Amino acid sequence: MSQNQVLAGFHAVTARVRHAPQSIRQVYVDGQRRDKRMQSLIDRMVKAGVKVHPVDGARIDELAGQARHQGVVALVEPIDLAQDLDDVFEGMAEPPFLLVLDGITDPHNLGACMRTANAAGVHAVIAPKDRAVGLGTVAQRIACGAAETTPYLMVTNLARCLRDLKARGVWIVGTDERAEQTPDQVDLSMPVAWVMGAEGEGMRHLTRELCDMLVRIPMAGSVESLNVSVATGVCLFETVRQRRVVTSR
């Protein structure tokens, strides 16, 4: 039981039964909730051969911890989508498209970044093991199932990982409000790894030095910066736009 992970909320649990039902060990639901959404989830679990336990709200709260659970909690085995960069690059038939998070500590921001990365078709999200949050219950709930299909690699040495990416022909692009270029002014159809800095502090000094180029997101209003997950969306989908243009030629 101690090796299991906890998933909380409809999105996270539904995504797991869709992508890897064999990894689900137990599902606990609020026995007082009998609405259509809950019944639909229960029917899906039963069809997948997963045992569902109706329990009281206190038990659900205990299992979910600080996470918002909506009356649904699942105990699951961790999924290893990719162990390292070799796994990520194996069999890749298109230019690599990666997201590097340099020290994101807020699980809500991590979950939102994972969700955006998944929507943009990013091949993997990379983060350092130190000074960064892992894919816990809160992050997985916010990710809305993205963690089930987008690899999240936590590396011991981020600088070494960036050098490895550069050796593989990947361009490292960081964001900096003082940069001269904007995302639409650089070629993002090439193999690219976007680097987004931590909340408030931005990228660490060594990470910045390892970037091949820096860009800034143009700001027209009075605010000075964007939330890291919003900035991530801007950069990733500019990459998606450019690659679609190239493909359509």
Q: Is residue 1 predicted with pLDDT exceeding 60?
A: no
Do 32 and 132 lie in a common domain?
no
Q: Which domain holds residue 67?
A: 5-76
Do 54 and 133 lie in a common domain?
no
Do 114 and 230 lie in a common domain?
yes
Q: Residue 75 in contact with residue 21, Cβ under 8 Å?
A: no
Q: Is residue 141 predicted with pLDDT exceeding 90?
A: no
Rounded to whole angstroms, how far apart are CA atoms 116 and 94?
19
Q: Which residues are annotated as a binding site?
A: 197, 217, 226
Do 173 and 135 lie in a common domain?
yes
Q: Which residues are annotated as a binding site for S-adenosyl-L-methionine?
A: 197, 217, 226
What is the per-residue pLDDT across 109-118, written as a single tens digit (0 to 9) for each? 999 999 999 9
Do 97 and 200 lie in a common domain?
yes
Do 72 and 89 lie in a common domain?
no
Among candidate residues 58, 76, 94, the one where a domain is terminated: 76
Give me the CATH number covering residue 36.
3.30.1330.30
Do 109 and 23 lie in a common domain?
no
Do 47 and 140 lie in a common domain?
no
Do 42 and 141 lie in a common domain?
no
What's the whole-model pTM score?
0.78
Give me the CATH number covering residue 174.
3.40.1280.10
**Structural domains counted in the chain:** 2
Do 35 and 152 lie in a common domain?
no
Among candidate residues 25, 45, 76, the one where a domain is terminated: 76
What is the per-residue pLDDT across 179-208, written as a single tens digit (0 to 9) for each? 999 999 999 999 999 999 987 778 899 999
Among candidate residues 76, 98, 118, the one where a domain is terminated: 76
Rounded to whole angstroms, how far apart are CA atoms 163 and 110?
23
